[in-house]
Amino acid sequence: MFSWKLISKTAAVVFFLCNFADAIDNGLAITPQMGWNTWNSFGCDSDQDLLLSTAQKIVDLGLRDVGYNYVLQDDCWSAGRNSTGHLQADTTKFPDGMASIADKIHDMQLKFGIYSDAGSLTCGQYMGSLGNETIDAQTWASWGVDYLKYDNCYNEGQSGTPLITSARYRAMASGRHILYSMCNWGEDFPWKWAQTVANSWRMSGDITDTFDRPDSTCPCTGDQGIDCALPGFACSTMNILNKVASFPDKGINGAWNDMDMLEVGNGGMTDVEYVTHFSMWVALKSPLIMGNDLRNITPATLSILSNPAVLAVSQDPDVRPAFRIWRYAVGDTDAFGQGEIQMWSASLSGGDALVVLLNAGAAKRQMNATLVDIFWRSGPGGRATQVGQAWDVYDLWANRMDDATAQQIINAAANRSAAADPSTIGTQFRYNATAMGGYAAGLAQNSSVLLGKKIGVVQPHGSLTATVPAHGVGMFRLRLHSSDGDTPSHREL
């Protein structure tokens, strides 16, 4: 996160709060972390009541049980250091203290996260952690913190490098496993080295709630993702997506490319664009951190954030990030002069495949992906054996929860004493990962709610064709074709 007050050359001072365990071996973020953060909707205007009321909404709306289990306090919580040098919370905003808040959030079967910075000040110009890494790690552990977002402002030129990172990481063992979310905006190419340091790393400047609007404060184009001197902020969905396209494979289990927090539900994009935003963050295995005001959630937003067939792609531990197979400019540009189409594919567990057709043009169009393209990375030029096989096609958005059902859930969550239990509403549209033992278990059992709607078959050497709205996506799971009544055949790609 950048403050509007500054644009400075900074880089992360990196650490992870755990007893010398490599991030990919610490048991955290085996699938991309999911949760909610205060910043996108509230900035510095957060407090104890907001954290606790939002945590309760996460539970009541069923979002905890689909996987959103971190409640994250971003910047502006600190009142500086006390006489012993320990960080202390602003008692006006957080009168009960952070340890009490963490306890209450844990009682809801959720986890609590905090924010700090690798500089002398945070981006909001509160007290940072530079030079105080050990004592701050101990403080957060004593509060029961489960997650740290570590930003990158005012670092006094102490840039994040593998050497600095490793030394500080090892100096900050706290005895508590804390998920480490490194927020250095991709300045020092963390995708090259951060896999054994952090559970995730920001790979671009800050997101803003637009689909493809260029902004001078996000000066690097999407094609400059691997060499961006000034990441900036106010970066659009498409800008960030095109930046990460060069290195999706750098995200691995326990260590992920972070495309920044979700803007779904914040009002700057259309419903179609929010579906695209969410779909691409899922396909690229980015952390899914909600940034909307859950106290005023709309039915459309709830149905996007809780789509089980899409979340199954994110939360399947055997799924690899998608690769962009092709990209073409189109003539139907939008008001910002932007227009392109793309096709992405990925291997899914059990031998399934993911296909995403992205229409970033200004007009609805028919798009297609050949099996040669879909399985290109298994054998270029049609050499993959999968090209000669038939594939059942499942549309991952076809069974999206309708607005009426979503509104029933919202109404029941708003009146917790009502006879209607929100968890019993719309079960045909949701998957209770808590009760079912996770998404991998449901996929192993061929849970229909995780597969989407079967819409057809692609014959050997054929193509998947779909009509995709402007700024929209078609998102599909391909499964090796089986006759009706047969058990689907699975194998690794």
Q: Rounded CA gap, 416 and 399, in Å? A: 27
Of the chain, the end-to-end C-alpha distance in Å amounts to: 38
Amino acid at 454: K
| Token pair 């951060």: residue | 194
What are the residues whose beta carbons fall under 8 Å from the beta carbon of 83, sequence distance 6 or more? none
Cβ of 86: how many Cβ atoms within 10 Å? 13
The one catalytic residue among 74, 75, 206, 316: 206
With contact defined as beta carbons under 8 Å apart, do 396 and 309 qualify?
yes
The alpha carbon dihedral of 288, 294, 300, 303 has a sign of positive
The sign of the torsion formed by the CA atoms of 145, 16, 319, 240 equals positive
Active site residue 151: yes
Catalytic residue among 151, 188, 258, 392: 151
CA atoms within 13 A on the CB side of 493: 26
- Angle between helix 48-60 and helix 98-107 axes, rounded to 10 deg: 10
Q: For the residues of 107-128, what is the DSSP string, one character each?
A: HTT-EEEEEEESSSB-TTSSB-
Residue 299, Cβ density class (10 Å: 0-12 exposed, 13-18 middle, ≥19 buried): middle
- Rounded to whole angstroms, the Cα distance separating 215 from 230 reads 13
115-141 burial: b if 16+ Cβ within 10 Å, else e: bbbbbbbbbbbbbbbbebbeebbbbbb
In the block, tokens 């057809």 appear at 456
Residue 253 contacts residue 259 (beta carbons within 8 Å):
no
In whole angstroms, give the CA distance from residue 287 to residue 262.
9
Q: Give the catalytic positions in this structure.
A: 151, 206
